[in-house]
Structure 1
């Protein structure tokens, strides 16, 4: 074979033409992909909720959905998919096409507690979800019946330490945020108390009012009527700052339980692998929706606190929550069989 002339391009004119066609094709595909993302959404957007209607993620989703719909130009539908402590919905979203048409409004239960408590879950909270924004925070509050005769956390601790092993705290179920808040209190305070799980917070509150259990943690919004009419006494809230809805209640740290922080929250995610441009658009729309006057006013009425984050901040927050509650679960030797 004769040698190529010096300076002659490898393959000659035919190769140059072929290369140009490849580059043109690649640019065309990239243009099509960009146009497809610019045209998003092309169908209704579903927000999947892992619990029955009425919980924090459900209420927050229904508050922001109409405003997101106006901004996106497509219907935004809220769908409740309860089951297996939220795992049914989490697995559905984790396996959804990552095109921004399926979203997940969830909370600490699926993203931080279940990975530490349920070895059978079939999703990874970091790999399988793309964080969009934290939206709301709901303080947990320590409650006792007035007949107990204590008016502050110190009084409760004095009672529990005088009578070790004789008192119990209620929760909405094993591994629920209310249970883990009680367990965190037990660990930090060093008291000997028994956990009594109920099937939901309503029957637990009923027994607390009747004096069948000594104390419990509950989300502040459903507890407010009991506090307002004197059926229960609030001793402290689990946020680091006093709750805007009830600023007269001290924080647990102010009350003497150093290191105590416990609240529930609502955050929006997409399936892992959703394009960054779509995540950015969703972040803009949901944060704009959450800041609308009617949404902000209703959240305040409910006792929810607006907490907006970037996707990166939500990812870091989720990891911190998982590590924190995982440590509480391990130290308490908690399992779903308990």
Structure 2
């Protein structure tokens, strides 16, 4: 039988080289031989810089970089209601160096673009962590007569279609949350979709639209300036960052909870040990008091959690928004 001993080398050195060679030849051996992470990691944000998703990704990415000892690069890939950026990561190698931070649009796209997406919103990704949630607030224009949620709903019922609402686009969490509210309350407002939050907000301030849903960080300056009124927050209880805004339950709409959120995904087949390591680090990051203060100041509630919990949350959100989309017959061109 041929010996594994290599002539001219000490036996121990020959055995070491032989083992290294076998590891390199084994499927995935090269990847396992390289300690992860050995190079920069990217988190794709499928939106333009400066938005809530981008801010949350950068805050988490900065601390993740310190914990992992490698740069974490935030790469903005806006376009097609988050489809472009998510597609970039879905088609990336599952090596633990590419992630995407998605929001509620990812869950809605599963129904809005069913059969037309370049990826499967569930099967082509490995859930990593439900990072944060931001409960949505219904804001009324400062130029609008109704000053409370019950007054707005009463007017909407008395004059169907006379009031309107804006959103950052068809299928956005702000749009679908209002569709859900209308179904729950038997009201009908006219939807005015915009290309982003800022133009909708400008029309709310001008009084061209009656109301809109958005996050606390977006709406707070307008509340403070008197340009808009907080009507209700879609959380189970009043959060610490908005103690003076009533919940929908307090305003007469029980069990009405809705948020935008940030969920970190990796390409499917990313090694489970890498997925769990990143998930564990994020859970620790969002528990740090300084991080909690920073995120709460922007209207976020920190979550963390396991990959399994993130996966169940995503599937529940897909099912929830699918029901709203079908009931309201929401369609995109």
TM-score, normalization: structure 2? Answer: 0.88
In the TM superposition, what whole-angstrom CA distance separates every residue of 1:33-81 from its partner, at most 9, and x where no partner exists?
4982771112211111111112222111111222211221221111001
Q: CA deviation at 1:224?
A: 0.6
CA–CA distance in structure 2, aligned partners of residues 152 and 34 of structure 1: 62
Q: Which residue matches 2:232?
A: 236
Structure number with larger C-alpha Rg: 1
Q: 2:61 aligns with which of 59, 62, 65?
A: 65
Matches for 1:313-324 after TM superposition, within 5 Å:
313-324=309-320
CA–CA distance in structure 2, aligned partners of residues 171 and 202 of structure 1: 10
Q: CA deviation at 1:199?
A: 1.8
CA–CA distance in structure 2, aligned partners of residues 172 and 62 of structure 1: 22
CA–CA distance in structure 1, aligned partners of residues 226 and 272 of structure 2: 50
State yes or no: 1:149 paired with 2:145. yes
CA–CA distance in structure 2, aligned partners of residues 225 and 265 of structure 1: 21
1:130–1:273 contact (8 Å) kept in structure 2? yes
In the TM superposition, what whole-angstrom CA distance separates every residue of 1:282-309 from its partner, at most 9, and x where no partner exists?
1122222333343322212211111111
Distance 1:143 1:37, change over 3 A: farther
Q: Which residue matches 1:287?
A: 283
SS where residue 304 of structure 2 aligns? coil
User: Number of residue pairs matched?
Assistant: 315
Q: 1:137 aligns with which of 119, 133, 137?
A: 133
State yes or no: 1:298 paired with 2:278. no
SS where residue 148 of structure 1 aligns? coil
Q: 1:250 aligns with which of 246, 249, 256?
A: 246
TM-score, normalization: structure 1? Answer: 0.87
1:56–1:265 contact (8 Å) kept in structure 2? no
Q: CA deviation at 1:192?
A: 2.2
Q: Which moved further from structure 2: 36-45 or 161-170?
A: 36-45
CA–CA distance in structure 1, aligned partners of residues 41 and 143 of structure 2: 50
Q: Which residue matches 1:219?
A: 215
State yes or no: 1:106 paired with 2:102. yes
CA–CA distance in structure 1, aligned partners of residues 108 and 46 of structure 2: 14
CA–CA distance in structure 1, aligned partners of residues 33 and 280 of structure 2: 15
2:112–2:332 contact (8 Å) kept in structure 1? yes
1:144–1:214 contact (8 Å) kept in structure 2? yes
2:89–2:100 contact (8 Å) kept in structure 1? yes
Q: CA deviation at 1:169?
A: 1.0
